[in-house]
Structure 1
Amino acid sequence: MDIGQIIRAARKAKKLSLEELAHQVDSDSGNLSRLERGLQSTTPDKLKQIMSILGIKLSPQDAGMSNVQMALQPSREPKEYPLISWVIAGEWAESCDNLHPGDADQWIASTENAGNNGFWLEVKGDSMTCNGNPSFPEGSRILVQPEADLISGKYYVAKLLDSGESTFKQYIEDAGLKYLRPLNPSYRTIQINGNCQFIGRVIDTKMTGL
């Protein structure tokens, strides 16, 4: 079994779609599909990331890819997080009072660990919709992990202090400057300089209406 077949088997075992895996490794589902079919290679760092997420381990004596063995790690138990409104997102992230199923109208499960104060939001508007991957169309749900480290290229919910508005954008650092970038090119990139509060990092997403 070659590495592409092993990746596909491990992905299926974890019940991940190509799109879900692509989102987790910041890749494209088409590239992953070609990798699984042996039609395309990838960088060692990207392969290591994919194998880490899927729980694939190389045997110690392996010098190439012919002796790859699959050792699936125990899958994490799904945990439910509340779907809340954008109005209270900032206050929720700072709250020490955790709600339990029954206290909120809707709870959605995820295998990602968003911490004790994690929560879901529903995407509003089309500023994070694009033709590439990932894309977050209006109505999709995003899981927010409060108090997450800032990493350029990742996706965050932030509160603009000037307007009090909460927004979902990609965080970018470039030449010492910091930006909130929409994926839709029709919207403008926002330069930030301490005038925003990061509520949390988006670590999972779910489509609706499929």
Structure 2
Amino acid sequence: MDKWIALVRTKLRELKLTQEKLAERVGASQGGVGHWLNKRRQPDLPTMNKVLHALGLEHLEVALVIRERNAAANDADIDDCTYDITSAFRYPVSDWAMAGQVNERMLAGYETGTVFEVSDHYAKGAAFWLQVTGDAMTSPVGASVPQGMMILVDPDIEPEPGKMVIARTPESAEATFRQLSEESGQLYLKPLNPTYPKILFDERCSIIGVVVQATTKF
């Protein structure tokens, strides 16, 4: 996706085209084109190819390439994809009770019926998807991750204040989705919805992973 965006931006500058003109050519709204180019939304493959065609790049084609995660880990050219390829990696969908129990043994052989979703994020560890429930991370302003969105959790990313995380707390049998924050040297699990209380992060709590992506599931 990043390389497609870079190519489109470059061609817009070369052709001295505005996003509005590109939107007219592909039958989309200017706002929609802006969302694509700023990674707020991802167009489907036919739309991505339609954009390339509108920019005179008919010789290129965006193709979805799904690699097994373990095989991709040994691929020395993982970051060497050409513009006509969008790389995607599949990760299992977990539930809130089992979050964090996806491990390397499971990666070697998933049970029949395991559901997967794809992402362009490459995780070296046992990443997994969760579907957001409740409205604790729904904010009236700024960043918001409402109920129904799919979030990708990467356990191998270092949790830092400001990042969205999946954590376990003694107050709940299920995993908790919050923003890690620091106040006066103390860590808290902070909801984006101001009507929910923040949770003190102490030695009884643990971080399962960092949320690296959120997408809407229809």
The answer to whether the aligner puts 1:125 opposite 2:143 as a matched pair is: no
Residue 186 (structure 2) aligns with: 177
TM-score by length of 2: 0.60
Question: Is the contact made by 1:83 and 1:104 (CA closer than 8 Å) also made in structure 2?
Answer: no
What's the offset of the Cα at 1:76? 6.0
Secondary structure, in 3 states, of the residue corresponding to 2:98?
Answer: helix
The answer to whether the aligner puts 1:152 opposite 2:170 as a matched pair is: no
The answer to whether the aligner puts 1:81 opposite 2:109 as a matched pair is: no
Structure 1 residue runs without a partner (length 5+): 1-5, 24-71
Residue 17 (structure 1) aligns with: 35
Give the number of aligned pairs.
Answer: 154
What's the offset of the Cα at 1:147? 3.2
Question: Is the contact made by 1:98 and 1:116 (CA closer than 8 Å) also made in structure 2?
Answer: no
Query: 1:140, 1:110 → 2: CA distance?
Result: 14
Show structure 1 runs of 4+ deviating over 4 A. Answer: 72-76, 99-102
Aligned sequence identity (%): 29
Q: Choose 155-164 or 134-143, whichever is displaced more.
A: 155-164
| Counterpart residue identity of residue 157, structure 1 | I
Query: 1:127, 1:7 → 2: CA distance?
Result: 38
Query: 1:177, 1:7 → 2: CA distance?
Result: 44
Secondary structure, in 3 states, of the residue corresponding to 2:136?
Answer: coil
Residue 107 (structure 1) aligns with: 116
Q: Choose 122-131 or 132-141, whichever is displaced more.
A: 132-141
What's the offset of the Cα at 1:156? 0.3
What's the offset of the Cα at 1:173? 1.4
Give 1 or 2 for the bigger CA radius of gyration: 2
What's the offset of the Cα at 1:85? 1.1
Query: 2:111, 2:137 → 1: CA distance?
Result: 31
Residue 31 (structure 1) aligns with: none
Query: 2:136, 2:171 → 1: CA distance?
Result: 20
Query: 1:16, 1:107 → 2: CA distance?
Result: 29
Structure 2 residue runs without a partner (length 5+): 1-5, 13-32, 42-79
TM-score by length of 1: 0.62
Question: Is the contact made by 1:90 and 1:199 (CA closer than 8 Å) also made in structure 2?
Answer: yes
**CA offsets, 1:124-167, max 9 Å, x none?**
10000012332111111000001321211010000113543310
